[in-house]
Structure 1
Amino acid sequence: MIKKIFFLFTVLFLNILVVVAVSIGQDRQKSERIISFDSNIHIYRNAAMSVVETITVYSAGKEIKRGIYRDFPTKYKDRYGNSVVVDFRVNEVLRDGKPEEYRLEGLRNGVRVYIGRKDVFLNPGRYTYTIRYSTNRQLGFFKAYDEIYWNVTGNGWSFPIDRASATVRLPDVSVGEILEIDGYTGFKGDKGKDFFSSTRSPGTVLFQTTRTFKPGEGLTVVVSWPKGYVTEPSIATKTQSFIRDNLGTFTSLFGLVVLFVYYFTAWFRHGKDPSKGTIIPLYEPPDKFSPAAMRFITNMGFDDKVFAAAIINMAVKGYITIHEENNGYTLLKRGEGDSLLSREEQVAASRLFGSSAKMVKVDSANQIAINGALVEMKRSLRNSLEKIYFFTNKKYFIIGLCISVLIMIGGSVLGEKDGLPVAAFMSFWLTVWTFGVAILLMQVVSLWKSVVSGGTHRRVLFFRAVFSSLFAIPFVVAEIGGIVALALATSVFIIVIMAVMVFINALFYRLMKAPTIAGRKILDKIEGFKMYLSTAEKDRLNLLNPPDRTPELFEKYLPYAFALDVEQEWSQQFSEVLSRAYASDTESSPQWYSGPSWHTKGISGFTSSFGDSLASSVSSASSSPGSSSGGGGGGSSGGGGGGGGGGGW
C-alpha cells in the first residue's frame, strides 16, 4: 500500500514538473527575443566590406511593435584620441524576404536604422529581418599581418539572443594561410569563449555560439591573414581620410596660426615699444609724478598696489595715519597735508572719508567706500595719463578675443557635427568660465601671499585664504569637468589648441600695451629713479652726489619704492640710519604708522611685507564675497569594428 502511494506521488510530482517545464518553455517562446542572429561578412581586395545580417525575432507586441532598429557605430577614437569615421551605406532591408520600409537617424557615434512603418503594427509571432550594407576602413593593417576584429552582434541589444553565428569570407586566402582565428563572448570587455569556429572552404571561417546570450552580451570575432591579399590604403588616402575625420582639429590649428599672425601684425604696427633711451640715475621723482601715477605708467594699467601706494603716500604726507591691528588696517584722517595730495589721491580721499568721516577700516564692511575710491582713482589716472603716455590697444585685443571664440566654436562644431549643441555650448561656456575661474584663483593667490607677508593679523588672513580656497574648489572642478566634456564631444587636441590659444591671448594682452614717445621718455626717467632707489651699498660710490640718507628721505620715497617693487632694496640702504634714529628718539616708529609690525619684523621686514599686506587687504575689502589588434588574446567582447546593438519600436 505504501509503495503504491509513493508511486502515485512520484508520478504526480513528475507530471507537475513536466507541466511547469512546458509552461516555462511556452512563456520563453512567447517572450520577445532574438531567435537567431546570422552575419555574413565578405571582405574584398580593396579593403571594402559587405555585410548581410539575418535577424529572426519573436514579437509579442511589447517592445517590438512596428519592427526593430539596428545601431551601427561609424565614429571611433584611435589610441591618440583622433577621430576615425567609417563609411556606412544600407543597400537593402527585407522582412520575411520582402522589401521593408526603413529610415536612418543619426546618432552621436553612428547611425540607427529603423525598420518598419509608423502606422503598421505587427501581430505577435516570428519575423526575419535581412539588412544588407557596405562599409570600409574596418580592417587592421599591421606590420606582419592584416586583420578583421569585428563585433558581430553588438552589445547593445535589449533582448536575449538564442543563437548567433558569423561567416567571414576572405579574398583568395587558403585555409592553411589563415594566421589566427579567435573570438570573444559576453558583456563588453569580457573574454568569454562560448563559441566554436571552423573553416569550411578556402578563405571562409564560421563562428557559432554555444549558449544563449543575455541582453547586453554579444559575439566578437578575430581573423588574421598574411599581408598582400588585401590592398592597404596608400599614405595619401590615409592622410586625406585623417584630415576629413579631424576637420575640426585642423580648422582650429589653422585658426591658431591665423590668430597668431593677426596678433603679431597688430603688435608690430601698434604695440611695438619705442626704443629705450639712456638711463641716468635720478634722485627725485621725475616730473613730480605721484607713486600711484608712476606705477600706473610703468604697468600701463591699474592694480591694487597702485591704490596701496597712494594710501602710503597720503600717510607719509600727514593726511592719514595707518593703524594696524590684529584684524586688519584702519585709516585715520588727520586733516593735515591736504594741499600736498595729488589729483588722484584727492579723489580717492574724497570717496573714502566723504565730508565728515574720520576713520575707515579696510574690510568688507566698507566695501562700497573702498571700491568707490578705487574706481575714482582709476578713472582719474586714465583720464590724465592714458593715451598721453601709453596706449592699451584694447580694441585689437577684443578683436583677437572674438576671433578666438569663433575658432573654438567652429573647431568644436566641425569636429563633432552630431554633437553641435554640446560642442557649441561647451566652447562658449568654457571660454567665459575660464576667465572667471582665472580671476577667482588670482584672488586666492593674492590672499595666500598676504598670509605669507602678513603682520600680526596673519591668523585672520589665513582663515580668509582657507575659506576662499574652499570656495574656489567647486568652480575649479566645474572647469575640469567642462574640459573633459568638451574633449569627449570633440577631441583632446581641441583642448590643447584651446590652451595654446588662451596663452596667446594672455601674452598679447600684455604685449599690445605700448608707451607713446612721451611715455618712453618718462619710463626712462622712472627707470633712472628706480636705479637710485634700488642701488646697493657697494654700488653707491658709482652714483654722482647722491643725497644724504636721513629718516625723512627714507619715508618720503618709501611709497615710490613700493610702487616700483624695490621697497626691500630701499629699506636695506637705510637700516643702520633708521636703527640709530629711532633708538635715540622717543618715537619708536614713523608718525604715519602705528602697529606692532615695525617692532616684530624690523625695518627691512616691515617694508617688505607691509605694502603687499595692505594691498591684499584692499583687494579683499573691495571684492564681493562670495587602434589596437584583437588577436593574441588582446581583444574582448565588444571590441573592434562593427558592434552597436538594437531594439524594438
Structure 2
Amino acid sequence: MLRLLSWPILCAMLLALTSCSNFDQEFTVQSANSTVEVYTDGTAFVSEFFDIAVKRAENYGGVYVDIPQRFTDASGGVHWRDFQLAAARRGGLDEYFSIENNVPGYSIYIGMEHCKSCSADLPKVPTKIQIAYWLGRLVRQEGNREVLFLPAYMGRVHGQGAKKTLTLKLPPGGTLRPSQQDRAAAYDVTRSAPNELLVSIPAGKGDRVLPDIEIEYPAGTFVIVTSGKRIQWWLSDHFLPFISILGPLIVALVAILKFRPSWLVPAPLITVDTKITQNISPALAAYLFRNWKADAAKAAFLASVCQLAVKRMLRISSLDEDAEASNLITKQERKKGKPGRSRWYALPAPTRLVFGQIEGERPAGDRRRVKNARPDVRDELHRTVTEEYQKIRGKDRWSLAAAVSILALGIVVASFSGLLIFSTAICGILLVLLIVVTMFRHPERFPVAAGTSEQFSQAAFLFVGLPAIVIAALSYIGTTEVISEQRPYLMAILLHIVGIIAIVAMLRMPTPKQRQIRNNILDLNRYFRGEINGPAMSVECYEHYLPFAVALDVEQRWTERFNLWREREKMDAYAPDWLIAS
C-alpha cells in the first residue's frame, strides 16, 4: 500500500542540513521525481531526483535525505522494511555521504562536510541531488489475493509544497484499488504504459495529508514467502522494542539475585560452621558483628592481640586494653627457614598488622603497653580488614557483565533510534553531577595539586571544563527536537541509565558469601552463649575461639563455659603459657 501521509514519509524526504542548520533559509526544493521499479520477488529499486535551489553562498555543504523504514499496515501493525543504499550523487557524480540511524529509518547526509566553517559550500546554482536504493517486503497477503503496498513518496519534502512526480513500474496483472478518499483532489494517477502508473502531485501545502494507493494482484504473482523469511521479518519488526525492554529486565534479574528472596536463602544454621573461623580474622568478625561501626575498631584490635597470644606470637598479662605484651616473636624467627615462619604467615593480615604496631612501641623493660599502639593503627586496621572483606567477596562478574550488557544495549537503542548524541548529552550532565557530589562527600579522593601548573589545571577543569560540558549538553538537549516515535525509546534509554546506576549501587551490597559469613558470625555469638550446639569443648577449642569471643564481646561468657567444663572434667587449674603470670 502506498501511503502518502504527512508525517511518515516512507520514502525520501529532505529534512535539514544539520540539526543546527536552517533549511528554508539556505535551500529550496523546486521539484522532486521518483521512479520505483517493483519486481516479482516483492522488492523494489528506487531512484529519486531532487532539484535544489541554493539561496546562500555560505551553507552547510550538503543535505539530509530521510529513508523511513517503519510503516503501519491496515490492521495497525508496525513493520520494518529492508533497505540497502545503492548510490548518492550530486550533479550526476558520486558524492560523499554518511548514514545515521533514527526511529523511522535512516538519515543519509549527501555532501562533503558537516559544518559551516568548512569550505565545501554548495554553489549558488541549481543543484540536482540523486539517491538510489533497494527496498524489500512490499507485499502482504489478504485471503487469496496479494496486495502491493509501497512506501509513501513525496507527500512533502521538508515542509515544502513543491511539485512532485512518482513513476511506478509494476508487474503485470495489478488492479488499482479505489481510494477511500477523494484522490482527484489530492493527486492524479494515470496509466502511462501497460505496466506503469504515473502519480502527479501538484504544488501545495507541505503538511497536507494524501490518500493511500493499493495495487491488488492474484495469488501466486509474487514469490511465496518462506517460514524462515517470515521469522526474519518478525524479528526485525520487534528488534528495537525487544532490546529496549531487555536492559530493565536484566536489572530486575540482578536485583532478584542480589536481594535473594526467601526461596533462595539457605535455611538457618542449628550449629556453628567450624570452617568460618579458619578463613577470617577475628578483627573482621568484630566489624561484621557491629555493622562496620566506629566502635568496632577497639574490639578488632583486642581480638587481634588475643589471637597473637593464643598463637604464641607473644605473651600478654590480660585480655583487656590495659594489658602488657612481652616475648614477641622476633624478626629473625619470622625469616625463611625458621620454625616460626609458617605460624607467622598463617596469621590473617589484620593480626600481623597489630603485631607490627605493638612491636614498634618502645618497651619498658621487656614489656610493651598494648593500648599505646591502638590509636596509631586504627585507620590502617580498618583498611586492612576492608581489603580482607573484599577478597572474601571475590569478583562479582555477573553484576559487572550485566552492567556492561545494559550499557551496550543502551548504546544500540540510542544508535538505532537516532538519540545517540542526545543520550550522550544526558550522560554528560549526570557524570558532572556525580563528580560534584563525590567531591563534596569524599574530598580525600581529590587531593589538592602541589604545583602551580597542576593547580591551574584543576581550577580550569572545575570552573571551566565542567560548566562547559553542562552548558553544551543542555544547549543540545534544548535545541534538539525529539519526535513522537523517539519518545518511547528515549524513556527506554533513561531506564537503561537508571539500571546501570542501580547495578553499580548494588555492587556495594554484600554478596551471598559475605552475607553467609556474617550470619555465621551471629551463630557463633549464639554458640558462645550456649544457645546452639557447636564444637565440643576442650582446651584447644577454648583457645581457638577465644579471639572471636573477644571480638564479639562475650569473652567472659565463653570463659565461664570453659571453667564449668573443667569442673565437670575435674581438670587441674588452667595456666596457659601465653598468659603472663601475675
TM over 0.5: no
TM-score (norm 2): 0.43
Bigger proportion of residues as helix:
1
Higher RCO, 1 vs 2 (CA within 8 Å, ≥6 residues apart): 1
